[in-house]
Structure 1
Amino acid sequence: MARVSVEIENHIARVTLTRGDKMNALDNDMVEAIVAAGEGLKGNNDVRVVVLSGEGPAFCAGLDVANFGKFAGADPVELVMPRSHGAANLFQQVCMVWTQLEVPVIAALHGVAFGGGLQLALGADIRIAHPETRLSVMEMKWGLVPDMGGMVILPKLMRSDVLRQLIYTADQVGAEAAQGMGLVTELSADPLARAMELAGQMALKSPSAMRAAKRLIAVSESGADEATVLHEESREQAALIGKPHQMEAIMANMQKRVPNFK
């Protein structure tokens, strides 16, 4: 069965988890399909924004417990230590592939985002959640640690003591509390509709400026020194000034019309 669908329209790629009958739980096929969907969008110049969502009652309930039996019979070192995607293994790439896309990614969350499902959402630039969504860094419940890329993102979003409490307890938190912690960007009664609204706004901005902004933010969050960040600000700006996308943005604003970026 298909696990993920990808539809591209008006420069927006809608990536949908389609295992709704299983709350989009992550079995091996789902993991591979999510990574393949993200990898397949790399370098696609027609795509300006990605919206990530899940069918059925939940965004993603985390690891499919049926997989524990498969893992029990495997060599854990061989299972998780090989680096199949640069610095990441296959499971970590579920989160990291979205950070590697050149364009903004918006995740629309509903139902639950547990364990690996939460880490998948963390790969997005922005997370819109229904107020009744529940989130959890759930790995400790199963005697494990977060290991799907979340530990790259979580320390950038949260205070250390709050992050430690979530990891150590595996407690579930509501969307409003998660927003206060930095896990959720915005609450919406219809997170997918709101995500699409934001995506529509972003798709009308200069594609080259949007990609430059994502690169620049990544540098600034990487721990680079002040001189490096200032240099990258100037380098990215120099590459934009006077170029066709910037000139079209200026003309569209002056003429009060929708821009037409080619």
Structure 2
Amino acid sequence: MLLIRSVQKIPKSLYIQSVRKISEARPDLVYQNLDGADKGIVVFGFNRPKQKNALSAGLVEQIKSALQKVTFDAQARVVVLRSLVPGVFCAGADLKERATMPREQVGLFVAGLRSLMDQICDLPVPVIGAVDGLALGGGLEMALACDIRVAASDAKMGLVESRLAIIPGAGGTQRLPRLINPAVAKELIYTARVIDGGAAYNLGIVNHVVAQNSSGDAAYLKSLDLAREILPNGPVAVRMAKRAINKGMQVDVGSGLAIEEACYAQLIPTQDRQEGLQAFNEKRKPQYTGQ
């Protein structure tokens, strides 16, 4: 981030070239725990510049390992998924790699992708997808698995699998129709249409759309702002809220209310709940510990 701020005044073409050189020297996934006032925010940076962050078998396993790490990190409060490659979030599955796979291995790979998206969706803490640039196929499916999505106005998104005579296989046919009008979701999938960030916002696919900046990271910066809004709140409460929402959406309203009740019950004995009440009475900012 310091690099971005220090080079904003140089020509955009030179900036992008410098970022690409730095990206090529980094691993496929950069895992970062922010510190200071941003402690609790974890950032996953996708970094396969030559492949446009395509989801290879190796990258999928790296993301899964990183998600597992967050699951057991008591300090983690929010995760932000972003790209370190200018102009692209994720171009989808690595089709060059897939072309070398035996037919029987393709199904296993797609099942692994589906498992990855489920793991993102089920992560105990909120996940924000920062879509700066291209998000096609599996890239959009990954964004759909996030709790909150932010897109740059010039981002390009689409479930384009029908162009390759296949269908979205990592949750796209299920998550998109649950997010927007099912008839509109069908149209987007059948036509393999690619839309920009503004259209995605109007359809309700993303929560926020922002004008892209000269650094190409406007969606990421907005995502950080959202993460900072979440940080001060009770971490156990946020986790329980996510669980109640996700589980409740899978059942009828009556069963959902029972799930909400069970999640609320887990908060009653926490130290954070007592701290929240005491801070309210003392008219001060609460200091939550996650206990």
Structure 2 length as normaliser, TM-score? 0.81
Residue number in structure 2 paired with 1:32: 61
Alignment map for 1:95-244 (pairs within 5 Å): 95-189=117-211, 190-222=218-250, 224-241=251-268, 243-244=270-271
Report the 3-state secondary structure (helix = DSSP H, G, I; strand = E; otherwise coil) of the residue aligned with 2:278: helix
Q: CA 1:32–1:239 in structure 2 vs 1: closer, same or farther (change >3 Å)?
A: closer
What is the aligned counterpart of 1:8 among 17, 33, 49?
33
C-alpha displacement of 1:240: 1.6
What is the aligned counterpart of 1:59 among 85, 89, 97?
89
Do 2:134 and 2:157's aligned partners in 1 also have CA atoms closer than 8 Å? yes
C-alpha displacement of 1:118: 0.4
In structure 2, C-alpha distance between the alignment counterparts of 1:241 and 1:65, rounded to whole Å? 49
Deviations 1:115-139 (A, max 9, x none): 0100111111000010111101011
Report the 3-state secondary structure (helix = DSSP H, G, I; strand = E; otherwise coil) of the residue aligned with 1:15: strand
In structure 1, C-alpha distance between the alignment counterparts of 2:264 and 2:165, rounded to whole Å? 47
The answer to whether 1:252 aligns with 2:279 is yes
In structure 2, C-alpha distance between the alignment counterparts of 1:239 and 1:230, rounded to whole Å? 14
In structure 2, C-alpha distance between the alignment counterparts of 1:2 and 1:170, rounded to whole Å? 31
What is the aligned counterpart of 1:69 among 91, 99, 102?
99
Per mean C-alpha deviation after superposition, the further-off stretch among 26-35 and 101-110 is: 26-35
Do 2:98 and 2:106's aligned partners in 1 also have CA atoms closer than 8 Å? no
- For the aligned residue pairs, the C-alpha RMSD in angstroms reads 1.9
Count matched residues.
Answer: 253
C-alpha displacement of 1:53: 0.4
In structure 1, C-alpha distance between the alignment counterparts of 2:63 and 2:254, rounded to whole Å? 37
Deviations 1:138-195 (A, max 9, x none): 1111111101122332221021211111111111111111112221111123111111
Deviations 1:35-73 (A, max 9, x none): 2222222132110110110111211111223124213xx
Do 2:177 and 2:186's aligned partners in 1 also have CA atoms closer than 8 Å? no
In structure 2, C-alpha distance between the alignment counterparts of 1:61 and 1:201, rounded to whole Å? 29
In structure 1, C-alpha distance between the alignment counterparts of 2:192 and 2:66, rounded to whole Å? 29
The answer to whether 1:49 aligns with 2:78 is yes
Do 1:62 and 1:116's aligned partners in 2 also have CA atoms closer than 8 Å? yes
Amino acid in the other structure paired with 1:47? A
In structure 2, C-alpha distance between the alignment counterparts of 1:143 and 1:252, rounded to whole Å? 58
In structure 1, C-alpha distance between the alignment counterparts of 2:72 and 2:99, rounded to whole Å? 37
Per mean C-alpha deviation after superposition, the further-off stretch among 203-212 and 12-21 is: 12-21
Residue number in structure 2 paired with 1:85: none
Do 2:46 and 2:85's aligned partners in 1 also have CA atoms closer than 8 Å? no
- Structure 1: which 5+ runs fail to align? 83-87
Do 1:93 and 1:149's aligned partners in 2 also have CA atoms closer than 8 Å? no
Amino acid in the other structure paired with 1:61? A
> Identity of counterpart residues, as a percentage?
30
Structure 1 length as normaliser, TM-score? 0.89
C-alpha displacement of 1:242: 5.3
- Structure 2: which 5+ runs fail to align? 1-25, 212-217
